[in-house]
Amino acid sequence: MSEPIQNRYEFVFYFDVENGNPNGDPDAGNMPRIDFETNHGLVTDVCLKRKVRNFVELAGGGAGREIYVREKAVLNQQHQKAYDANGLKHEKSKLPKDGDKAKAVTDWMCENFYDVRAFGAVMTTEVNAGQVRGPVQFAFARSVDPIMPQEISVTRMAVTNEKDLEKERTMGRKSIVPYALYRAEGFISAPLAEKTGFSEDDLELFWSALAQMFDHDRSAARGKMAARDLIVFKHDSKLGKAPAHKLLDRVTADRQKDENGNEPKDAPRHFEDYVIAVNKEDLPAGVEVLRPFEA
């Protein structure tokens, strides 16, 4: 495994959805998540991390790339692996009293599970493996423009129960966003990466996950989602050379104007309806802009 990263990063990640539901809200009948004050669509950080985890699991790669939070995983069993690997017995809900042994358990989790190393984890369950603060963090993604979710009625020719055989069909509903471009912002801390061992190889895998994760996440609700752009601010030091918010504010996505310089009145329906721009003027010394999707 390569050395921990030595640079701080911030990034802006654009992705879009067409006639799909990027992140349903279980408290609202699985309707697309929305900011009810502005009607902008939302996608949670948890949703984005899930897709990164799924891609890393599909990509494989051997030791150090297991996934801690995966479907049907029993977390106490995951923690027990760390105790077994270090020849230790766990005491219910407690880390080993010896500091070096406690660190060995937590370090083993970081070394073997990509998502613990990247995103961190609270592992203080009955089989206690400690707590890790991850270097890679997402904010909620937010649609560039307000959205208007729709409920579409669908039919099924089959029935579930024998008593319903006389019915011609059964009805259902599907929630969609006709089109939306979403912006997610993220942060990568070199000092925290040093603590978890998040490496340059891990970072390259993370960029690959952002680029490809929607290609391996197709479903009836997410048939057409795409990663559109990734703008990365790389600092030449661990602590960084400029406030994150000032760098992120340099990235904008505006509606494509017509030949007269006017924005169209129609709702956006394609990625080409937008222009993504990065203001590189007077960029702080020690900060460079990277566009991994263009490499």
Q: Please check whether residue 195 lies inside any domain of the structure.
A: yes
Q: Is residue 164 pLDDT above 90, yes or no?
A: no
Look at residue 1 in the predicted model and tell me its pLDDT: 60
Q: Is residue 295 pLDDT above 70, yes or no?
A: no
Per-position DSSP letters for 233-283, written without gaps between them: EEESSSS-SS-HHHHHTTEEEEEPP-TTSPPPSSPP-SGGGEEEEE--TTP
Arithmetic mean of pLDDT over the chain: 94
Look at residue 261 in the predicted model and tell me its pLDDT: 79
Residue 208 pLDDT grade (very low, low, confident, very high; cuts 50, 70, 90): very high
User: CA triplet 242, 243, 245: central angle to 5 degrees?
Assistant: 135
Look at residue 168 in the predicted model and tell me its pLDDT: 66
- pLDDT tens per residue across span 53-68: 999 999 987 889 999 9
Q: Please check whether residue 69 lies inside any domain of the structure.
A: no
Look at residue 258 in the predicted model and tell me its pLDDT: 81
Distance CA 245, CA 31 (A): 31
Q: Please check whether residue 215 lies inside any domain of the structure.
A: yes
180 with 147: CB under 8 angstroms? yes
Look at residue 60 in the predicted model and tell me its pLDDT: 87
Q: For the residues 146-157, what does the mean pLDDT come to?
A: 88
Distance CA 229, CA 156 (A): 38
Look at residue 106 in the predicted model and tell me its pLDDT: 98
Residue 237 pLDDT grade (very low, low, confident, very high; cuts 50, 70, 90): very high
Q: Please check whether residue 93 lies inside any domain of the structure.
A: no
Top-confidence residue, 87 or 164? 87
Q: Please check whether residue 175 lies inside any domain of the structure.
A: yes
Question: In this prediction, what percent of the chain has a pLDDT beyond 90?
Answer: 82
Q: Please check whether residue 259 lies inside any domain of the structure.
A: yes
User: Does the CA dihedral 78-133-10-276 come out positive or negative?
Assistant: positive
Exposed e or buried b per residue across 171-184, where buried means at least 16 C-beta atoms within 10 angstroms of its C-beta: eeeebbbebbbbbb
- pLDDT tens per residue across span 273-291: 999 999 999 999 999 999 9
How many CB atoms are closer than 10 A to CB 34? 19
Specify the amino acid at residue 191. P
- Number of structural domains the chain divides into: 1
Q: Please check whether residue 128 lies inside any domain of the structure.
A: no
Question: In this prediction, what percent of the chain has a pLDDT beyond 70?
Answer: 99
Look at residue 259 in the predicted model and tell me its pLDDT: 80
Residue 2 pLDDT grade (very low, low, confident, very high; cuts 50, 70, 90): confident
Residue 15 belongs to what domain range?
9-61+133-294
Q: For the residues 92-121, what does the mean pLDDT come to?
A: 97
Q: For the residues 132-139, what does the mean pLDDT come to?
A: 97
Q: Please check whether residue 200 lies inside any domain of the structure.
A: yes
- pLDDT tens per residue across span 39-95: 999 999 999 999 999 999 999 878 899 999 998 899 999 999 999 999 999 999 999
